[in-house]
Amino acid sequence: MNSPKLAFHQVNIKTIESKVNAQGSTLSDFLVMASQAIQDILEAVPSRYRGPGGAVAVLKNGELAGEHAWGYADLQRRIPMDSSTLMPICSITKQMLCMILKDLECNPTPEMAKRGSVRQQFSDSLDQLLRPEITGKTGLRIAHLCNNQSGIRDYWAMSMFWGAHPDGGFKLGEDAKKTLDRTRSLHFEPGTQYAYSNLNFHVLARVVEKVSGSKLGDLLDERLFSLAGMKTATLCEDNANLPPPCVGYEGCESFGFVPATNCMQWSGDAGVVASLKDMVAYESYLDKSWDNPHSLYRAVAREQSFKDGTAARYGYGLAHGTVGGVVTIGHGGALRGFRLHRLHAPSERLSVVVMLNHQADAEEVADHILKSVLKLFGHQLPFLKTAKPSPDWVGTFFDPDAQLAVEVSYGSPGQVIVSYAGGNETLTCVDEVNGQSTTMKGKIDRDILTIHRLVDNRVVNARRVGSSQEPPKEHYIGKYRCAEIDSTFYCSGAGGMLYGAFDGFLGQGPAHLMRYLGDDIWALSCPRGLDAPAPGNWTVVFKRDGHGQVVQSPTEGNDLPFGDLYDKRSIGKVPRQLAKIEKVSRLKTSALCPLVATVTPPRWPDSFIPRRCDRACKRKNETVDKGQLRRAQKTKVYRLDYYSDGEPKHDTCDDINGLQQLFDGDLKTDERAGDARFRLFVVENISQQVVDKFGSRLDVGRQSFTSQLRDCTRYNLLDHWRVPPSIHLVTHEQS
């Protein structure tokens, strides 16, 4: 408490000003004293947020008011950190990309100007980059990507599903293209919600490059870095080749600091490297730009809104918030081993830059510095009266809309900690059952938790999860497949100790620990990923069928149950290697209907053949009607029941009305029932009603009939529907 620095922090600008007036000092003396106070604040940061090294700065009125660099850029080689040390500024790149995008709109290249509307060129390029499922009828626009309102999932989080290792590689060319190909749906309607997605800005960068014909690095050099005086800033897309000497460190003081390995490539969502000197020049440039309402900075800093008119707190790579009751604009950046943050308070003309080569919370550091400086300048920080939280807050809840778990625990007195969107967030309780922060409001009503996430523009209604001491034994082990994103999930372990791992185009990922939450809901821990911060805890929700069995994909080496999929009776087990019907069992009957309606009557009621055929003959009469009915009912179906040895049992049906009896024939009535393996239906005449019967009776989709239907249609077109093909037994390999 006797430290001169701590004592000095109690002095605000008004006190300094009174001393200046009493001593008859000049304005320059006043500014010197203020700068010294700011310098003291900065020099106290290293001991408060301990780590290998860092650099911080404060600007007032666009001028440097204080800066401090400390520690080591490289602990092993003992290279000191200084204000010229280059570091990756990571996601702070996003706002710079958006300024380039806006600058190209206002100042297009000559070639762009010749092609007409720049915005339309951007839109057309977006349509070419993304799959039609994303751009077709969704209303997706460039602005949605700039504001993180697109609904496109973050590819750095999705990389876990594709088998990525934290230290693994990711190439801008091949891997990024595969990512876009596997991005086939949105997780909300564009413009209705907010969700942070790096992929938005990767796509924007590719749009900018395609339309302008220039590389992003060149555009940044020409249209931003040179204007702002950022002399050493540059775009470095490959994190495995960052400019020396700075090293980023994972770990902590008690565990030790370990150099982080980063091998992925990025461009647009991140990629810029800069020194503290560069960032001071950047902040000075932005401060001077603020007074010009037509500047690029004012263009990207303009407040955005959601589709419902609600003001958005994020837009064009900038987060809008408040610190100490003062409105701020800023953004953070993170890579394993690095944490950065910048804040600008336009009303106070104050800016803060924080750059760390370790994983302390850079946003917390920036907030601390800004609050300290605001207090120095006489600002009264807001005080919120707190209450003791109700015990009902604590527990695990489940959001059925997002399929995410919400875990709530006690925090500091008068606070609860909410873990929902990948990290911990603090609510200050204003009474027993209501809490709030600058980003969300919460309420607990016994077993119902309601959270209004202000940034996301979402209201979460979650119910308490009924946890038990131990999960059901052995229910979850197996393989689970997501065809849309081309990912396979493997669950292994026993009892309450399960592990989850993912395979995809990036490889076979590491196993992650899982923790039972209750009600078939588990948390899967992912503390390290390709990017940082890592995804954190994923929610894994297992689904059960009508018989209480966990639904999963068939796995290699496991036997498959055989029986009528509609009544769920298992007649026997089929070794997977022999189960050619495995693919058929996963098809849906809904896909069968459009195909049948296209290639069979009554779509062709007035002709022997399709209308598109030149030889179509319009002969609507009683003979034609009878012929069509006969073809629609034509039946020739074989049923073969296979056993472990001996010849298969064989039955035939050539009457549409006898198909039901053929279906109902039960292997259990046979003396060899206990040795049953599987049942095979061979359809010779694929008429309309045969297809309908199979489609309604069995869980058989169109792929099992597609090749035969095509053959049948081709022969019928050639023979005018008069001589149907004879297909005794045709085997079609399904890839």
Is the pLDDT at 697 greater than 60? The verdict is yes
Give the H/E segment covering residue 444.
strand 440-445
Q: Cα(619)–Cα(47) distance, rounded to whole angstroms?
A: 94
Taking only the tens place, the pLDDT of each residue in 201-260 is 999 999 999 999 999 999 999 999 999 999 999 999 999 999 999 999 999 999 999 999
What pLDDT is attached to residue 647?
Answer: 76
**Highest mean predicted confidence (pLDDT) among 149-153, 173-177, 573-577, 718-722:** 149-153
Is the pLDDT at 702 greater than 60? The verdict is no
Residue 385 is among the residues annotated as catalytic for this protein: no
Is the pLDDT at 315 greater than 70? The verdict is yes
Is the pLDDT at 360 greater than 70? The verdict is yes
What pLDDT is attached to residue 91?
Answer: 97
Residue range 391-464, CATH number: 2.40.128.50
Q: What percent of the chain has pLDDT over 90?
A: 63
Question: DSSP labels for 369-433?
Answer: HHHHHHHHTTPPPP-----PPPGGG-EEEEETTTTEEEEEEE-STTEEEEE-SSSEEEEEESSSS
Which of these is catalytic: 60, 94, 636, 693? 94
For the whole model, what pTM was predicted? 0.74
**Highest mean predicted confidence (pLDDT) among 89-93, 153-157, 649-653, 659-663:** 89-93
**DSSP strand E in 193-349: where?**
234-235, 249-252, 256-259, 263-264, 272-274, 314-315, 318-323, 326-335, 338-345
Pick the CATH number of 87-151+186-376 from 3.10.20.30, 2.10.109.10, 3.40.710.10, 3.30.70.1520: 3.40.710.10
What pLDDT is attached to residue 713?
Answer: 52
Residue 634 is among the residues annotated as catalytic for this protein: no
> Can you tell me the mean pLDDT for 643-659?
81
444-450's contacts with Cβ under 8 Å and 24+ in sequence apart are 444/390, 444/392, 444/393, 444/408, 445/392, 446/392, 447/392, 449/393, 449/397, 449/406, 449/408
Residue 135: half-sphere exposure toward Cβ, Cα within 13 Å: 15
Top-confidence residue, 566 or 526: 526
> Can you tell me the mean pLDDT for 25-40?
71
Is the pLDDT at 619 greater than 50? The verdict is no
| C-alpha closest to that of 489 among 450, 522, 462, 446 | 522
Q: What percent of the chain has pLDDT over 70?
A: 78
What pLDDT is attached to residue 536?
Answer: 84
Which of these is catalytic: 91, 487, 607, 687? 91
> Can you tell me the mean pLDDT for 639-653?
80
Q: What is the mean pLDDT of the chain?
A: 83
pLDDT band at 682 (very low <50, low <70, confident <90, very high): confident
Q: Show me where the domains of the chain are located.
A: 87-151+186-376, 391-464, 564-718
What pLDDT is attached to residue 122?
Answer: 98
Top-confidence residue, 621 or 643: 643
DSSP code of 600?
S
- Whether residue 544 contacts residue 520, with contact meaning beta carbons closer than 8 Å, is answered with yes
Helix, strand, coil percent values for the chain (each to nearest 5): 30, 25, 40
What pLDDT is attached to residue 492?
Answer: 93
What pLDDT is attached to residue 725?
Answer: 41
What pLDDT is attached to residue 709?
Answer: 57
What pLDDT is attached to residue 30?
Answer: 53
On the question of a common fold for 87-151+186-376 and 391-464, the answer reads: no
422-431's contacts with Cβ under 8 Å and 24+ in sequence apart are 422/533, 422/535, 422/536, 422/537, 423/533, 423/536, 428/384, 428/386, 429/386, 429/387, 429/388, 429/389, 430/384, 430/385, 430/386, 430/387, 431/387
Top-confidence residue, 384 or 543: 543
680-to-596, 663, 683, 692 alpha-carbon distances in Å: 22, 11, 10, 18
Is the pLDDT at 447 greater than 80? The verdict is yes
Angle, CA of 223, 312 and 536, to the nearest 5°: 90
What pLDDT is attached to residue 598?
Answer: 42
Is the pLDDT at 12 greater than 70? The verdict is no
> Can you tell me the mean pLDDT for 458-477?
85
Taking only the tens place, the pLDDT of each residue in 64-89 is 999 999 999 999 999 999 999 999 99
What pLDDT is attached to residue 642?
Answer: 80
**Highest mean predicted confidence (pLDDT) among 28-32, 456-460, 630-634:** 456-460
431-435's contacts with Cβ under 8 Å and 24+ in sequence apart are 431/387, 432/387, 432/388, 432/389, 432/390, 433/390, 433/392, 433/393, 435/389, 435/393
What pLDDT is attached to residue 116?
Answer: 96
- Whether residue 156 contacts residue 91, with contact meaning beta carbons closer than 8 Å, is answered with no
